[in-house]
Chain A
Amino acid sequence: MTTGMIVLAGGVGKRIGRPVPKQFLLLGGNPLLVHVLEKVLTLEQIIDVVITCPPAYLDETRQLVANHGFDDRRFRCIEGGASRQESVYRGLEALAGVDSVVIHEAVRPLVTVDEFRSLLDAPDDNVMFGIPIPFTVLKGHDYVEQLLERSELVNVQLPQKFEAGPLRAAHEAARRDGATFTEDASLFYRYAEAPVRILTGSERNLKITVPTDLIIAEAIYADLVGRGSGSVARD
């Protein structure tokens, strides 16, 4: 059983409002991507890590990976696609020989090694993390169209793990249909028709999407490392 990993680092920083892509933003003084790779480094089962990057930032990402001492034979940077889904597809192509694939994203830097281990050690082949939704959700735009029962819903998190073959087949099918998904558990569930196990995630495994997320992440990180200050100082 061989396991590879795709690290999605394809953002261009539109919503975060910064002049650099999100994966290069600093958290506790280090780029978000580095926080993820440092944890992956300790996972012996993951033999091949493919980092999907925006073409314009491929060289910069390679330089960053080298600067921080990651072996470029195990941590490979490739060009991502125009969409998140396309980037995963390209990552799967680059991981042609593995049996299982873990997918994570650079903008979830607070993922823990224990969470990765739980995912890898789970007996199920296809696994995602999810957390309860603490707020009320309704369907609708200008008017309410439908009530939703939040106890039946789950907030989807990464990392996720899938059998490589079925995931590739699911992606091929989605491409044929022109169907797009915002993450792979949905795509897999729709096309692979195989069970996807949900492990309980953590509120701390925050996705850095909007500027406020980075402020929250700094506070969480400071708590994790027992320090009191962050990169974007408030004084």
Chain B
Amino acid sequence: MGRVAVITGASQGIGRATALRLARQPDISGLALVARSEAKLHETRDAIGDGGPEVECYPYDLADLEGIPDLVASIHRRFGTIDALCNIAGYAEPSALLDTTTENVVRTFTINVMAMIVLIREAVRRMQHHSAKILNVASTAGISSRPGWVAYASSKAAVVSLSATLSDELAGRGIKVYSISPGRCATDLRRILAPEEDLSTIMQPEEVADVIARLLDESEAILDGQNIIVRRQI
């Protein structure tokens, strides 16, 4: 029996690239794709095509924390197991501190941090009796100063922190927790932040997805807990 992976943010960028990459793994038998846009999720599913793992799309806005237990339960019912959780969905609305609204802070932390914790909690409840892996996407913004990005950067710092804590807390259960911090990556967010940048010259989502796939591979057993910076050297 193969492994089942849940991927949030699977409609674009690193999330979609991860879905495509994991679909090529022979030991992956099921993919649960989560994102707000149903149409874009279907694009990801179509890009995976036939002949690979079973793919199910779950259109869902992670800002709705209350519904996450039902979401995870329905995924578990559909596949019978959850062996890997990739928390890739993220939200960013960069602005100066004095222009940062309360709504911006709440939404950023809800999606980037709180939803991640609730998802992990619900997934771990269904990972009780077997080894499993959780991978959280943080950012280099979470480990260095980012003037003008206070909500996003501090939320990503929280991801680094919660990943280290849960790596220790869940070690006894055989669950590994990874945190990766991508640097500049050719995603839609980067296009907003630096549209003049030639995205072909910076790290591609597929390169990050490749790192994620290696970490989620069952052979990887020594890197969890630490924040892993993923950056293309120029």
Interface of A toward B, CB cutoff 8 Å: 16-19, 26, 28-31, 34, 63-64, 67-69, 210-212, 227, 229-235
- Asked whether, in the complex, the Cβ of A231 is within 8 Å of the Cβ of B149, the reply is yes
- Asked whether, in the complex, the Cβ of B194 is within 8 Å of the Cβ of A232, the reply is yes
Indicate whether A233 sits within 8 Å of B148 (C-beta atoms), given known contacts A19-B195, A67-B99. no
- Asked whether, in the complex, the Cβ of B140 is within 8 Å of the Cβ of A26, the reply is no
Task: Compute how far the CA of A8 lies from the CA of B95 in the bound complex, rounded to whole angstroms.
Answer: 21
Interface residues of B in 212-234 (CB under 8 A from A): 231
- Asked whether, in the complex, the Cβ of A28 is within 8 Å of the Cβ of B147, the reply is yes
A-B contact pairs, 21 of them (CB 8 A): A17-B196, A18-B195, A19-B195, A26-B95, A26-B147, A30-B148, A34-B96, A67-B96, A68-B96, A68-B99, A210-B196, A211-B196, A229-B144, A230-B147, A232-B194, A233-B146, A233-B184, A234-B184, A235-B140, A235-B183, A235-B184
- Asked whether, in the complex, the Cβ of A31 is within 8 Å of the Cβ of B145, the reply is no
Interface residue count on the B side (C-beta < 8 Å): 23
Q: What is the interface of chain A mostly: helix, strand, loop, or mixed? A: loop
- Asked whether, in the complex, the Cβ of A227 is within 8 Å of the Cβ of B145, the reply is yes
B94 part of interface (Cβ distance < 8 Å): yes
Using CB atoms, name the residue of chain B closest to A66: B98
B1 part of interface (Cβ distance < 8 Å): no
Looking at the assembled complex, report how far the CB atom of B26 sits from the nearest CB atom of chain A, in whole angstroms.
Answer: 35
Using CB atoms, name the residue of chain B closest to A221: B147
B170 part of interface (Cβ distance < 8 Å): no
Closest 6 CB pairs of A and B: A29-B147, A211-B196, A29-B148, A26-B148, A231-B148, A67-B98
- Asked whether, in the complex, the Cβ of B140 is within 8 Å of the Cβ of A68, the reply is no
Residue among A16, A63, A231 with most chain B CB within 10 A: A231
Looking at the assembled complex, report how far the CB atom of B122 sits from the nearest CB atom of chain A, in whole angstroms.
Answer: 33
- Asked whether, in the complex, the Cβ of A26 is within 8 Å of the Cβ of B98, the reply is no
Q: Which residues of A contact B194 (CB under 8 A)?
A: 211, 232
Indicate whether A29 sits within 8 Å of B96 (C-beta atoms), given known contacts A232-B193, A232-B194, A235-B183. yes
Using CB atoms, name the residue of chain A closest to B150: A29
